[in-house]
């Protein structure tokens, strides 16, 4: 990697501000439902502790829109992190100000504090220089370990570069290296699986990745727009009319490059996307006018499985159906299990797909599960992330 990492800096005795992504799912009672985003940052935090740094962690949680929300305080995160580190992590009730400065000034080597939710301050999302400067006064060095937030030009992501040396954390390094290596010399056949709801969010991935892959498999809600582009009636499925012509051009481009694009042959349909809704399987040519696509069907699962078993590199971004509802989760579950069993490089592109493989207990069977939904989308689209661009070069 061409960017400096925390290993390239002497940190002993220094105050190190670490941007992490602790945006964990949490219920209204403050119970963390999945601590994956905390666990993946442990290598960087542990490295700093063992090298006698004074560790000042900062993160956002939820969308409080610049206002204090008692349900979005980071105290529960600090408690869980304390358990994982087996040492005290002090949660602060503010992110900036005199009291924060006092606590930080009294820190000893190896101690850890967690600032309050950055998004309680309007200056965070506005990338306000004043807010960034106040944060920077807490530290001697800035470490960005929040790949999942690095597509945002926020004060704690890009604003620090004006005031502090900025380097990558170990998770950030791993994310960049894994996603970059996909395109350097991938083992072939190379397949990309694209799902999820909206074509618009994935178009740039497809435009960037099609010249580099051998096979594209399309599922999820976005399959409706692709099927419509091929002339299928998709009932009341959500279609993006303004993307149909673009989808056609992408399929034509793939054909000209010898890249195969496989769309579903059959789908699970329902009137409403609800748990108790009646659902059945139909061929894509026979989707009823009053039904919508909720998942890929068994013939499609079989075809996708047969193709994936031949592949040596697989990238997957976007579930195959409404996996949150059990009766519409079979496509996502089946494809997860297939990918987990491959002797191949397998990369899960964050967001809902990462959530799905984690829930299924298959995350450790993948080569890499990205922590960034929007960030991995932007990275795979060939765009430089703002939070990566500001890191110091080696």
Residue 133 class from Cβ within 10 Å (0-12 exposed, 13-18 middle, 19+ buried)?
A: middle
For residues 60 and 124, give the distance between their C-alpha atoms in angstroms, rounded to a whole number.
9
Whole-angstrom CA distances from 50 to 13, 60, 227 are: 11, 25, 54
For residues 221 and 49, give the distance between their C-alpha atoms in angstroms, rounded to a whole number.
45
Tell me if residue 310 is catalytic: no
Catalytic residue among 37, 54, 291, 292: 37
Q: Which two tokens stand for residue 312?
A: 């040596």
Q: Are strands 112-114 and 266-270 parallel, antiparallel or unpaired?
A: unpaired
Tell me if residue 37 is catalytic: yes
- Distance of alpha carbon 51 from the chain centroid: 29
Please name every residue paired with 268 in a beta bridge, in sequence order, or none if there are none. Answer: 281, 295
Tell me if residue 123 is catalytic: no
Q: Which two tokens stand for residue 237?
A: 């499925």
117: Cβ contacts below 8 Å, ≥ 6 apart: 59, 60, 61, 62, 64, 69, 72, 73, 74, 95
Cis status, amide bond into 213, omega within 30 of 0: no
Tell me if residue 220 is catalytic: no
- Distance of alpha carbon 371 from the chain centroid: 4
Catalytic residue among 321, 351, 372, 373: 351
For residues 84 and 40, give the distance between their C-alpha atoms in angstroms, rounded to a whole number.
11
Q: Which two tokens stand for residue 370?
A: 């990205």
Q: Which two tokens stand for residue 368?
A: 């890499």
Catalytic residue among 79, 133, 198, 253: 198
Q: Which residues are tagged catalytic?
A: 37, 198, 351, 374
């Amino acid at each position: 990697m061409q960017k400096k990492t925390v290993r390239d800096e002497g940190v002993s005795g220094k105050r190190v501000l670490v941007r992490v992504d602790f945006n964990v799912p949490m219920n209204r009672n403050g119970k963390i439902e999945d601590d994956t985003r905390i666990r993946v940052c442990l290598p960087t935090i542990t490295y700093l502790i063992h090298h006698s740094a004074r560790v000042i962690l900062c993160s956002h949680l939820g969308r409080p829109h610049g206002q204090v929300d008692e349900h979005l305080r980071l105290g529960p995160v600090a408690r869980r992190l304390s358990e994982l580190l087996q040492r005290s992590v002090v949660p602060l009730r503010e992110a900036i100000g005199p009291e924060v400065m006092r606590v930080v000034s009294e820190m000893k080597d190896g101690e850890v504090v967690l600032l309050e939710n950055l998004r309680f301050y309007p200056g965070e999302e506005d990338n306000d220089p004043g807010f960034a400067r106040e944060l920077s006064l807490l530290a001697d060095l800035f470490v960005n370990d929040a790949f999942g937030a690095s597509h945002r030009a926020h004060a704690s992501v890009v604003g620090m570069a004006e005031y502090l040396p900025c380097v990558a954390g170990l998770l950030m390094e791993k994310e960049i290296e894994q996603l970059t290596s996909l395109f350097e010399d991938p083992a072939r056949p190379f397949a990309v699986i694209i799902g999820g709801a909206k074509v618009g969010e994935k178009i740039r991935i497809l435009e960037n990745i099609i010249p580099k892959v051998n096979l594209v498999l399309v599922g999820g809600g976005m399959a409706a727009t692709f099927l419509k582009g091929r002339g299928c009636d998709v009932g009341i499925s959500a279609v993006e009319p303004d993307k149909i012509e673009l989808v056609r051009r992408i399929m034509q481009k793939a054909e000209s490059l010898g890249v195969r694009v496989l769309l579903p042959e059959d789908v699970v349909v329902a009137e409403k996307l609800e748990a108790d809704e009646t659902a059945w399987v139909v061929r894509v040519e026979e989707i009823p006018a009053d039904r919508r696509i909720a998942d890929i069907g068994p013939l499609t699962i079989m075809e996708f499985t047969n193709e994936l078993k031949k592949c040596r590199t697989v990238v997957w971004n976007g579930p195959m159906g409404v996996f949150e509802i059990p009766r519409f989760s079979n496509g996502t579950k089946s494809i997860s299990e297939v990918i987990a069993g491959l002797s191949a490089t397998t990369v899960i592109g964050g967001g809902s797909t990462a959530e799905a493989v984690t829930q299924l207990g298959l995350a450790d069977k993948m080569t890499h599960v990205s922590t960034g939904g929007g960030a991995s989308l932007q990275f795979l689209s060939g765009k430089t992330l703002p939070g990566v661009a500001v890191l110091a070069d080696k």
